[in-house]
Amino acid sequence: MGYQLKDCAPKIYIFRSGVVTMLEETKQNVIHLFNLLVYLCSKHLLTSDTSILIYTMKYSKTLLIVAAALLFCSFDLPKGWFIAGSKPQLYHMGIDPNGGRDGKHAATIQGKKKARGFGTLMQNCWPTKYLGKRVRMSGYLKSVDVKHWAGFWLRVDQASGPALSFDNMKTGEDRSVKGSTDWKKYDIVLDVPLRATNLAYGALLVGKGQIWFDDITFEVVNDSVPTTVYNNGKMPAEEPVNLDFEN
């Protein structure tokens, strides 16, 4: 069973099996078909894992259209961000031009057919303006068919040794995103000790599904805002405390 796209390809049916049958084969319909592939890729209904078979009665042959899908389904990498993770090659990552909350740009991560491990789109920055302070990272995220989990993450690094603090919305209290969810704001709050040398952050996806994320912000908060996970790095006290060892 298939469905007909009347607006852009009036004589083309697309079937769930991945077979496209052209009911009327003309040069114009070939152009319609090409535009159709571009449109489906732009809506992420096709990926580089998808093979489309075009069955033509007139020419009595089957064409395998893979190059077009591969060309148009890749995402552009956003400026200042880079791809990482345990299996980044199993994920599509980049910009969705119309995927944001306001219909503008958003970043996206999409698991491929055999996605495993995790893929992340991330940044690093100097922690200078946040040293000795408590920082809240906030951002909006939505998901479609996330099989395992996804979320934002933030890590505070030091020059050597383990991270001073880390939260990926899975450690500690599980706040990770699963299944299909609409746009929602999520927070991560961590202390940035004076010996911190780097902030690493981003969003990650584990397994199949797709996420979009947008409008990430950083702000300094006071101690009344609790951290979201345990911190390995100890923040300095504002003044000497417990000098008589009675507390």
pTM, entire model? 0.68
**What pLDDT shows up at residue 124?**
95
- The tens digit of pLDDT for each residue in 72-108 reads 456 788 889 999 999 999 999 999 988 999 888 999 9
Task: Name the 3-class secondary structure at 70.
Answer: helix
CB atoms under 10 Å from CB of 186, counted, come to 19
- The tens digit of pLDDT for each residue in 210-247 reads 999 999 999 999 999 999 986 665 555 657 777 666 66
Place of tokens 């031009």: 97
| Assigned architecture for domain 75-221 | Sandwich (2.60)
Q: Name the segment(s) of the chain with CATH classification 2.60.120.260.
A: 75-221
H helix or E strand, kind and range, residue 164: none
**What pLDDT shows up at residue 23?**
54
